[in-house]
């Protein structure tokens, strides 16, 4: 396997971070991919990173950092690793209520009576191991255990579509899963096929509810959104418009110290807090629209 490299820097303004990310595309050698992320610690700091299949030009990186007022890039060599094999060895099955999330290498471990959700090791983001996904699956199971039946369900920011598939496993109506990232949608579609749920889960590329197929199915009686604090806050008005009276929102991607901020915003949009579940540093909220 070829040696790969990463280069990361930080700065304190979103606009400059995005501009720096764009400028990195013109480096020689060019990065294989660039990401711009807000660090979710309340500091307002943004991280810009590049992934390189050749050693990056550190002089060019230093000039870029200086030009955009960023910290010096930290360049690291990524060890040669068969990541799929590594994930397969370390990715143990997860039980969340009735749901059993597993890789194909653990297909012989599915408990009797469980609802199985297959996520392959190569598509392991959002498997149930992270506290946010685990919390959402447990929240789904809690609602179902208490008699709720989802007839119109969407999964916003679906990742692997594990939440959409969980809902499709227990209810008969079609679930729509969306993600802003084209690759995530492709991963979601592959997982849906692997679970033989292509007749019950539709995957679309969209930001929030911004897709005709999402609009056509509104209002929803259940919406998942396992993203991050600020996107959840930004999404609150659209949640209020797209969730039916008596419906539920299952929200996660929220650190414990951020939970009240999210609750306050959603209460301002007419939601009530139904249940809060803590998994490690992460919180899952079930909100209802009375």
| Rounded Cα distance, 177 and 214, in Å | 9
| Rounded Cα distance, 127 and 145, in Å | 22
Return per-residue pLDDT of the chain as tens, 290 residues: 567 889 999 999 988 999 999 999 889 998 888 888 888 667 789 999 998 888 999 999 999 999 999 999 999 987 665 544 544 544 567 788 899 888 777 778 888 988 989 886 544 444 444 568 889 999 999 999 999 999 999 999 998 899 999 999 999 789 999 998 887 888 889 999 999 999 999 999 999 999 999 999 999 999 999 988 888 999 999 999 999 999 999 999 888 889 999 999 999 999 999 999 998 888 999 999 99
Which residue, 95, 89, 94, 85, is CA-closest to 122? 85
Q: Under 8 Å CB-to-CB from 252, ≥6 apart: which residues? A: 132, 133, 135, 136, 225, 226, 282, 283, 284, 285
Beta bridge pairs of residue 36: 48
Which residue, 257, 122, 119, is CA-closest to 192? 119
CB of 289 closer than 8 Å to CB of 246:
yes
Structure tokens at 124: 């392991």
Q: Calculate the CA 75 to chain-centre distance.
A: 27
Residue 227, pLDDT score: 87
Residue 281, pLDDT score: 83
E strands, the chain, in order: 4-11, 33-38, 46-52, 74-78, 94-96, 99-102, 115-118, 153-156, 175-179, 201-205, 220-226, 243-255, 272-279, 282-288
- Say whether pTM exceeds 0.85: no
| Rounded Cα distance, 9 and 58, in Å | 12
Residue 80, pLDDT score: 61
Q: Under 8 Å CB-to-CB from 265, ≥6 apart: which residues? A: 233, 236
Residue 130, pLDDT score: 59
Structure tokens at 194: 């692997």
């Amino acid at each position: 396997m070829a040696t790969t490299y990463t280069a990361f820097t930080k700065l304190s303004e979103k606009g400059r971070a995005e501009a720096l990310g764009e400028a990195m595309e013109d480096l020689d050698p060019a990065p294989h991919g660039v990401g711009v992320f807000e660090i979710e610690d309340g500091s307002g700091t943004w991280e810009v990173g590049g992934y390189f299949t050749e050693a990056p030009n550190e002089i060019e990186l230093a000039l870029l950092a200086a030009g955009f007022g960023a910290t010096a890039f930290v360049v690291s060599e990524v060890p040669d690793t068969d990541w799929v094999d590594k994930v397969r060895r370390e990715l143990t099955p997860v039980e969340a209520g009735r749901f059993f999330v597993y890789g194909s290498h653990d297909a012989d471990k599915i408990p009797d009576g469980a609802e199985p959700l297959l996520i392959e090791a190569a598509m392991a983001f959002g498997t149930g191991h992270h506290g946010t996904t685990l919390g959402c699956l447990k929240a789904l199971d809690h609602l179902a255990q208490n008699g709720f039946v989802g007839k119109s369900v969407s999964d916003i920011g679906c990742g692997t579509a594990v939440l959409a598939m969980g809902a499709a496993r227990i209810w008969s109506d079609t679930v729509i899963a969306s993600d802003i990232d084209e690759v995530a949608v492709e991963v979601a579609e592959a997982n849906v096929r692997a679970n033989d749920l292509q007749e019950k889960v539709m995957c679309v590329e969209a930001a929030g509810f911004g897709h005709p197929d999402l609009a056509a199915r509104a209002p929803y009686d259940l919406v998942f959104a396992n993203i991050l604090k600020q996107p959840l806050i930004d999404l609150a008005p659209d949640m209020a418009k797209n969730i039916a009276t008596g419906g539920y929102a299952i929200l996660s991607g929220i650190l414990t110290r951020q939970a009240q901020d999210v609750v306050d915003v959603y209460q301002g949009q007419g939601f009530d807090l139904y249940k809060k579940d803590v998994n490690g540093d992460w919180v899952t909220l079930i909100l209802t629209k009375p």
